Each structure stands twice: as C-alpha cells, then as structure tokens.
Structure 1
Amino acid sequence: MDEAELIERSRRGDLGAFNALVVAYQDRVYNLCLRMLGSPQAAEDASQEAFLSAYRNVAQMRGPSVRSWLFRIASNTCIDELRRRRRQPQLSLERPAPGGDSERPLEVADPAAGPEQLALRGELGEALQGELLRLPPDQRLAVVLCDVEGLSYDEIAASMGSSIGTVKSRISRGRARLREALRARPELFGDLVRPTEGSGYAG
C-alpha cells in the first residue's frame, strides 16, 4: 500500500493505515523533536503528543505526502513546549550528561576516518547540537528542517506555516550564527575543513 492510499484510508478512520504512517515517520519526527528540545525524554513526549494531535486531526490531512503536515504538527508541539519552559523554567534531572549516546548529536562521521578524526567529529557533532539549542526557535527549526531533514524550501515553508522568503532568511541567519560560534572553537576541527562564509555548518 503506497503512502497516498495510507493517507486516504487514515482520513476515513482506518487506524491500521494511520499506524503504518506513524511507523514510517516516527524516527524522523522524534529526531526533529530532539534537535529542537535537546532532551531525549522531552523529544519522546513531544513526538507522542504530535502523533496524538495528528490522529485527532487526521481528517485535515491533505496532499500526496504527509511529511510536511506531520513536521508542522511536531514543530508546533516543540514550540509550545519551549514557550512552556520559558514560563516555568525547571532543571531536568533526567537529561543525560553531554556526550551520552542518547543525546544523538548531529552526525558528521566518516567511515574511513581514523580514531583521532572520529573523536574530533564526535566533539564537533556535540558542539553543533549545543549551538543549535542556542538559536532562536524559529531559526533552529528552519536549519534543522533544511540541513538535517533535507526538506526543500517549499516543504519547510509548509511545515513552518511561513513564506519561502521568511524560511530562507531564518536559515541564513541561523547558519551565520552557527558559523560564528564554531569559528570561536577551532580546536574542534583539527585537520577537518573549517567553516567558511559560504557554507552551511562547515566546509
């Protein structure tokens, strides 16, 4: 059964079809929530809430692809959580120490790299994730959808409910802030290509 048929059956109330869509997209939705929120537990909670919201509003699902629709719901869920945190700041005792496996930092590993290069790239991935969490939420979301999830400008605009011009501006500003932050930490790059003015993160 292709995705278009799963969407149509889901809209008619077929729970099995909707569950198939959940299985297809649960990892990507979780990954988006993790990049936005920084905590595995918060990402798990947000992704579950996003899918519950999607199920409650499944009749509104449109188009040949469900990805942008699900990402928009997940994005809104994360933004709501970030707003709640600002209103009620609290220390999470569940968040693992930086560098733990469950943090799942941005991956920049090369299978052909030696141990020293792999170590540097692991540190770089952790630094990227840390700097992502310092970006304003709108810039963070745009950068994640573009550079991590690989969405087109049209898809990002649909996911964020923004114009393409606004999306491009947020990506540009977010990348610029990441480059500036990483330039201040040259030890992360070793022999790797350092961030340049015309690049995204590095190279």
Structure 2
Amino acid sequence: MEQIEWKLVKRIRKGDREAFAEIVELYKHKLYQLGYRMLGNPLEAEEIAQESFLRVYSNIGRYDQNHKFSTWIYRIATNLCIDRLRKRKIVYSLDQEVVGAEGLDMYSQLADEKQRTPEAEVVTLEIQEQVQKAIDQLPPQYKSIMILRYLQDLSLQEISDIVDLPVTTIKTRVHRGREALKKLLQHV
C-alpha cells in the first residue's frame, strides 16, 4: 500500500488530479469514521474528512516520504478533530446517535452472533451505547488515543506518529484511558 500511496503522491505533486481522487477514494471512509467516532456527529465528521483532504492537497509538498502516508493523513484528521472538540462545549445528550464501539475488549465476552437471541441483541446494543457514551466523556487527549487504538486498531507506534508524542506517553494514555473508561462504566 505504501508504494501505491507514494506513487500517487508523486503524481499529485505534478498536478495530477486523478491521483488525488484516488487518495480521496482510499481514505474517505477511514477519515469519516475517525471523525464520527471522535465527534459523534455525521456532519462534523464529513467536514473533518473534507478539511483533511484540503490540507493534504495544499500541503502535499511537505509530506515526508520517510513516514507512512497513512500516519500523516491520520495526524491531520486527528488534529482537526481535537481542535474542534476544544472549540465546542461538551454536551452529552441522551438522544445523540450512538456509534457501535466494536473492537473494545468488552465485546469478546458476548455470545457468538449465530447464537444471539433478540434479548442478546438488545443487551449488545445497550453495551455499545454505554461504551460510546463513556468514550464521549473522556478528555480529548484520552478519547483520541482510545479511538485510534481500539476502534481504528492502530499500533502504539502509529498513534505516536499521528499525535506526535512518545510511545511511552501513548502507553500511559492508553492505560489511563482504560482506567477512566472502567470507572465510567462501573457507574452504569
């Protein structure tokens, strides 16, 4: 994938708009999902994805090929999400649309999907809602790390590259984020 991306970057730098369209196609869903999980709002997630692509296009000359392209584009999107979270008041609404929080260890405790009863489906949805609400209550520095680690399934090194912090800091934030989630979920 990295070779394909680097070839596309070279073409974009030469003004090839089709190459840029290919990059957009490769990452539009990933950036939207990242934005949606961090912000909880489909319109804001779409705006974040679009703004990320605008920044990629305008800063493509500054991309360093010694780093993974995916790390660079995720860093752009994550920083935009964090900026947006800082600018808005945090409002928790019971009516807010909830995104499934698949990927967290809690789900490994649930029964196999083939054997799920309607009651088990309801329990699964309730757990997903509780986990998403708990994630929404985390401070931005933990929220972004938890989403990148458990929902985007990125390695600690990739997260370190994205948020420009040492891996040891990422490990600490993952640990503290899990502890905060545990506390939030104990009261549910």
Q: Does 1:180 align with 2:183?
A: yes
**Matching residue within 62, 65, 68 for 2:64:** 62
1:4–1:65 Cα contact (<8 Å) kept: no
Q: Does 1:106 align with 2:106?
A: no
* Partner Cα separation in structure 2 for residue 19 and residue 177 of structure 1: 40
* Partner Cα separation in structure 2 for residue 28 and residue 126 of structure 1: 21
Q: What is the number of equivalent residue pairs in this alignment? A: 177
Q: CA deviation at 1:119?
A: 1.3
Alignment-derived partner of residue 138 in structure 1? 141
- After TM superposition, the runs of 4+ consecutive aligned structure 1 residues lying more than 6 A away are none
- Per-residue CA shift, 1:68-93, capped at 9, x if unaligned? 1111000111111112214xx7x8xx
* Partner Cα separation in structure 2 for residue 152 and residue 7 of structure 1: 24
2:40–2:99 Cα contact (<8 Å) kept: no
* Partner Cα separation in structure 1 for residue 94 and residue 10 of structure 2: 40
Alignment-derived partner of residue 97 in structure 1? 95
* Partner Cα separation in structure 2 for residue 85 and residue 49 of structure 1: 17
Secondary structure of 1:2 counterpart: helix
Q: TM-score, normalised by structure 1?
A: 0.78
- The structure richer in helix per residue is 2
Identity across aligned pairs (percent)? Answer: 34
Task: Write the mapping of 1:33-182 to structure 2, written as runs, cut at 5 A.
Answer: 33-63=35-65, 65-86=68-89, 97-98=95-96, 100=97, 103-107=98-102, 108=107, 111-112=113-114, 113-182=116-185
TM-align CA RMSD:
2.4
* Partner Cα separation in structure 2 for residue 71 and residue 148 of structure 1: 13
Q: CA deviation at 1:118?
A: 1.5
* Partner Cα separation in structure 1 for residue 117 and residue 64 of structure 2: 47
Of structures 1 and 2, the one with the larger relative CO (CA 8 A, separation 6+) is 2
1:12–1:59 Cα contact (<8 Å) kept: no
Structure 1 unmatched runs, 5+: 186-203
Q: TM-score, normalised by structure 2?
A: 0.84
